[in-house]
Structure 1
Amino acid sequence: MMDEPWWEGRVASDVHCTLREKELKLPIFRAHSPLLKSRRFFVDILTLLSSHCQLCPAARHLAVYLLDHFMDRYNVSTSKQLYTVAVSCLLLASKFEDREDHVPKLEQINSTRILSSQNFTLTKKELLGTELLLLEAFSWNLCLPTPAHFLDYYLLASVSQKDHHCHTWPTTCPRKTKECLKEYAHYFLEVTLQDHVFYKFQPSVVAAACVGASRICLQLSPYWTRDLQRISSYSLEHLSTCIEILLVPLFR
């Protein structure tokens, strides 16, 4: 993992283009798993574990992606197997996306209340075997873009000096507005993990929609700026359906 975040580097635009190319090759999620009804529960477990281990959002989102697509392709028939695959996905994703000193040890994972309360323990042999199975299932390619890979790049252009609040007054402190918008955007980013409906959209669309939904919540005008359209290549029309889905829980 690079010391400098890619979205702050000189080649950020090139990295973004490469991620956009890679997302076009992602497999279609078919929602065929017989254990799909348990998905929300295991996503919550992965979220809690990643938070406990202070993993980066990219690792968390990659872990959920691996779990979803593995379940979609292979017959994971028991709860024990699903626990094993879920934890293995998280550890594998953390090794790929996070700093080496942030990668949790198996003992650390096993000792959490989250797993001990479920009376689940993963052995090293089970972990190694499942990690190998996962790597083979994904052809040893874990460079799989998720919305978390795009969000910070789009946040660079999320607030402008020309923004107005409530369609009238200019924003008084763009820095504070940007901090608040970032919190909203990361909230929406986590919302996208909860429902597999977001696989209908490309990851970059979901990330851009998180920014758009955040601007709407903060009542920033316009809802989508020229800078955001330039950096993402998306218009508000491209994002409207995804934004609507993101905002539904807030307006129930």
Structure 2
Amino acid sequence: MKTLIANNSVFYLRKDVYDSYKEYRDDFKQVVKEREQSRSSFFHQSPQIYYRPFLVGYITKICSKKSLSQGCLHLAVYILDMFMDQHHIIPEKLLLVANVCLIMAAKHEENAQKIPRSSELNHLVDNQYPITDYIKLEHYLTIHFFQHDIKLQCAVHYVFYFMQEFLTFEDLDNGKNLRTLFYDFHEAVSVHLDKIIEDVHYMQLYQPSKLAAAIIAAGRSDIGLTQWTKQLENLTEYKVDDLDEIVENLLEKKQLRCLHCDFE
């Protein structure tokens, strides 16, 4: 498999990395459980929720323009959602918040050279804000709101881990082309990852690892494979029945209905 995949591909995994991955799999599972149990509560009460589609679109556009990763995009949206859920932000300050969320996410997900500068992002919004506002808000979010704890909070982080075992030898028995399966699956997963940040409820109603497992199942279905395998069940510790509701919503591109709020 390694020879078919470029070194910079999301699918590329060196043998030494793979050996370490197998050795520390149980440790990773334990980390997943601990992280998900300590996730902050989401109250579905953002006063500025109707601005969210614009803000997510704004962050997405910058990530695309700057070639920032999906991990960066999803983490930025997560930080934005959590902060808006517990604060009343005047509309004039929302772009400042979006920019700071993106800077924070990039510091966790990107190489130093790719982290956007405050002045760079401020220029995109016509230099509306003093640079000191960026510094103060990032300090507040990092230390007081998240208490330095925003890692591994999004489904995308688990998706890329679970993807390492999305394929089995049985999947190739029907003469399917390996290269085609890899790239079709990657495209399908990318579509579902885009879907879950468009709707605030996907990332808030479901645990990240469960949502990630459902995305893997939906992606397999999209490319004509059975949704789930014993291999994936062992890795994720989810049975296919655990994922049915989410997979159905993803495949049918449903907008989730939430009992906690009236935003759809």
**Residue 210 of structure 2 corresponds to which residue in structure 1?**
205
In the alignment, is the contact (CA less than 8 A) between 1:213 and 1:247 conserved in 2? Answer: yes
- What is residue 20 of structure 2 aligned with on the other side? 10
- Pairs within 5 Å for 1:1-252: 8=18, 10-11=20-21, 12-13=24-25, 14-76=27-89, 78-112=90-124, 115=125, 119=126, 121-135=128-142, 136-163=144-171, 170-198=174-202, 199-220=204-225, 222-249=226-253
- Counterpart contact for 2:76–2:101, Cα < 8 Å: yes
Percent identity among equivalent residues? 26
* 1:9/1:203 CA distance change after superposition, 3 Å: farther
SS in 2 for 1:141: coil
Contact 1:171–1:177 at 8 Å: present in 2 too?
Answer: no
Shift of 1:207: 1.0
Aligned residues: 236
Contact 1:206 1:242 in 2 (8 A): yes
In structure 1, distance between residues paired with 2:252 and 2:158? 22
Q: Deviations over 1:66-93 (max 9, x none)?
A: 11111111121x2222111111010011
d(CA) in 2 for partners of 1:20 and 1:196?
Answer: 22
Task: Output the TM-score relative to the length of structure 1.
Answer: 0.86
1:16 CA drift (Å): 4.2
Cα 1:43–1:171 change in 2 (3 A) is farther
SS at match of 1:193: helix
CA contact (8 A) 1:19 1:145 kept: no
**In structure 1, what is the equivalent of residue 258 of structure 2?**
none
SS in 2 for 1:50: helix
Tell me by how many angstroms 1:9 deviates: 6.4
Gaps of at least 5 residues in structure 2 are 1-12, 255-264
Amino acid at match of 1:189: L
Q: TM-score normalized by structure 2?
A: 0.82
In the aligned structure 2, how far is the partner of 1:97 from the partner of 1:189?
Answer: 16
Q: For residues 219 and 161 of structure 2, what CA distance do their matches in structure 1 show?
A: 15
Partner Cα distance (1:101, 1:189) in 2: 25
